[in-house]
């Protein structure tokens, strides 16, 4: 006799046997990135030239150094600032009653000494700027500069070796056939190395362009500050060539308001000239020398015609 519990158990067993086993959905395999394998080829050599690290940092340095156009003021802002300053200066000159000043009578004989002193001080200012810039410059600039020096020096050495080999090949007595063949092979090898050095040096020069732009900007500001400071403590150019007795005569208690503005202009002008460096002073001296030579020539021509 089959009981109800027995029949229910048999029914569940038959149902389980007839039903296929449930399959589990497994996710598709995902692509995994293989870990980076470090090999001796990927490890930079300690004896490699500076270009080994310089070329690796070129892309990174360009991304971090190149100044965008947003870093520079627009032309409209510069024009507005200059116009506002010009209008303010004209207004102050009008209400101050500024008078015209004349040059000193012995100016023609004292100009060479004045330009010489200006040149000397500008050389000192240049050395000070170089010290500040060398302290401020970052490691990437030094790496590129050292790498550039390395490749340029290597190129020079290879060119000297090529000249020696050419002199030996074309010399008298002429080398034998075996030695001549060896020299030709060495010349080809060294010329290939010279071409490689030129390419590397060119790459380093291109990598230094962003650094040079930033260094030039910083150098200009440092030079302007040092030049203005030097002029503020007493070394000025306009005061040595202009007769100031009209606006400044302490014995007669004559100190015009225009004298204060003259001092400010003298400080700014002398500071800007000193910031330009000795090259700018050389150009000023060259213009003065050319003017004096043309003046003397014209005077001599007039004297001959008379």
Q: Cα 79–87–273 angle (5° rounding)?
A: 70
Residues 154 and 292 in one domain: no
Write the DSSP string, 189-211. Answer: HHHHHHHHHHHHHHHHHHHHHHH
Residues 279 and 145 in one domain: no
CA atoms of 76 and 230, how far apart (whole Å): 32
- The tally of domains found in the chain comes to 2
Contacts for 194-201 with beta carbons within 8 Å, 24 or more apart? Answer: 194/155, 194/158, 194/159, 194/162, 197/151, 197/152, 197/154, 197/155, 197/158, 198/151, 198/155, 200/51, 200/55, 200/147, 200/151, 201/148, 201/151, 201/152, 201/155
pLDDT, the chain, mean: 75
- 277: alpha, beta or left, given left = phi > 0 and alpha = psi -120 to 50? left
Could you tell me if residue 228 is inside a domain?
no
pLDDT at 162: 93
User: Rounded to two decimals, what is the model's pTM?
Assistant: 0.53
Print the domain residue range for 182.
Answer: 136-214
Could you tell me if residue 66 is inside a domain?
no
Q: What is the pLDDT of residues 252-272, one digit of tens each?
A: 777 788 888 899 999 999 999
Could you tell me if residue 52 is inside a domain?
no
pLDDT at 95: 81
Q: What percent of the chain has pLDDT over 70?
A: 75
Could you tell me if residue 44 is inside a domain?
no
Write the DSSP string, 168-185. Answer: HHSSSSPP-HHHHHHHHH
Of 157, 180, 214, the domain-final residue: 214
Residues 159 and 204 in one domain: yes
């Amino acid at each position: 006799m089959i009981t109800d519990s027995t029949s229910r158990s048999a029914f569940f067993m038959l149902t389980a046997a007839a039903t296929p086993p449930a399959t589990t959905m497994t996710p598709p395999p995902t692509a995994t990135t293989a870990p980076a394998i470090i090999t001796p080829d990927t490890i930079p050599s300690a004896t490699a030239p500076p270009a080994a690290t310089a070329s690796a940092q070129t892309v990174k340095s360009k991304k971090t150094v190149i100044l965008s156009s947003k870093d520079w003021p627009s032309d409209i802002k510069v024009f507005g600032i200059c116009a506002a300053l010009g209008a303010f200066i004209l207004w102050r000159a009008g209400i101050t009653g500024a008078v015209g000043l004349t040059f000193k009578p012995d100016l023609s004989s004292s100009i060479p000494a004045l330009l010489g002193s200006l040149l000397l001080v500008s050389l000192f200012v240049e050395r000070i700027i170089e010290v500040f810039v060398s302290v401020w410059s970052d490691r990437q600039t030094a790496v590129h500069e050292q790498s550039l020096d390395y490749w340029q020096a290597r190129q020079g050495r290879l060119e000297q070796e090529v000249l020696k080999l050419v002199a030996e090949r074309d010399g008298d007595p002429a080398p034998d056939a075996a030695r001549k063949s060896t020299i030709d092979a060495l010349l080809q090898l060294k010329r290939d190395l010279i071409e490689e050095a030129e390419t590397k040096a060119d790459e380093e020069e291109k990598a230094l362009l962003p650094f040079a732009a930033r260094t030039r900007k910083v150098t200009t500001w440092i030079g302007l500050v040092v030049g203005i400071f030097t002029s503020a403590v007493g070394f000025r150019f306009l005061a040595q060539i202009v007769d100031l007795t009209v606006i400044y005569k302490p014995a007669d208690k004559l100190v015009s308001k225009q004298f204060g503005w003259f001092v400010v202009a003298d400080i700014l002008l002398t500071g800007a000239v000193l910031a330009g460096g000795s090259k700018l002073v050389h150009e000023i001296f060259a213009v003065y020398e050319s003017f004096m030579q043309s003046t003397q020539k014209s005077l001599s021509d007039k004297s001959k015609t008379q």
